[in-house]
Amino acid sequence: MSDTRHARIGWLGPSVPSSSHIKKFLNLVPANVEVLYEQLVLHNGVLNDVQGKQDLIISRAVQFADKQKLDGLIFPGAPREVLNPALFGAFSAALKIPVATALRSSAAALKTFSAKRILLLTPFDASLTQLIREFLSQFDIVANSPAETLQHYTDALKMTPDDVIAYARRAMAEQSQVDAIYFQGAVLDPMDCLEQMERELNLPVVASNLAMNWYLLSKLGVKHPLSGYGKLMAAWPALPY
């Protein structure tokens, strides 16, 4: 696909289109890319309730893609991915369009920085964060997490950009050596302070929403480098796989 051809990409997630992180996502896509949203709520405040929902997810994804004639699909949410571990293969079998999931896209982004050892920052509890670390290990990425965790993932919504940077600083103080920082979980949002963080800590910072945008557009053959969102968006590297 050329950079001038119109494309339709779908976002199948738990948030409503008016959510702040979805509004920010619209700033990441070129004018010739249309983003369509469909809400899929799989839990009522307990993230582990998404486990075992693969068939429902695939069914809704197929309906969404067929109805809207999508060229690609974004499926956010690390818990939905790690608690349904065969999900990506099921997407590949059921859909003829590329799918960007939060974890696979972020792993690809980390690979472009040759990151082998990273600091993983999430709003999730220890068990879900451990599943993310295990997922990343499949890509030969060792992820370390800070001792400091949030009481509930929604607590991240109260954090300002200054709070997010301070959290990253405290977490980095525990690390001996890492190649990158990875934020997983849109409620723990680094987008408004990502470039400042990269300058201060002298490390590339990967955020899942940015990674999904880069991954899916790249799969569609579209390059859309942007300044103001860190090294991944500015450099727009080729996909590593």
Note the pLDDT tens digit of each residue in 31-62. 999 999 998 877 665 566 778 789 999 999 99
Tell me how far CA of residue 173 lies from CA of 2, 36, 150, 180, 206, in angstroms. Answer: 44, 41, 18, 14, 19
pLDDT of residue 185: 85
241 pLDDT above the threshold of 70:
yes
The domain made up of 105-207 is a member of CATH 3.40.50.12500 = yes
Fold classification of 7-102+209-228 is Rossmann fold (3.40.50)
CA distance 192 to 224: 19
Give all strands of the β-sheet with 142-144 in edge-to-edge order: 142-144, 117-121, 180-183, 205-207
- Pinpoint the residues of the chain covered by CATH 3.40.50.1860: 7-102+209-228
Query: Other CB atoms closer than 10 Å to residue 63's CB: what's the count?
Result: 12
Q: Where does CATH 3.40.50.12500 sit in the chain?
A: 105-207
Global confidence as pTM: 0.93
Query: What is the average pLDDT across 133-137?
Result: 97
Tell whether the model's pLDDT for residue 4 goes beyond 70. Answer: no
Using one digit for the tens of pLDDT, what is the confidence trace for 93-113? 999 999 999 999 999 999 999
pLDDT for position 3:
53
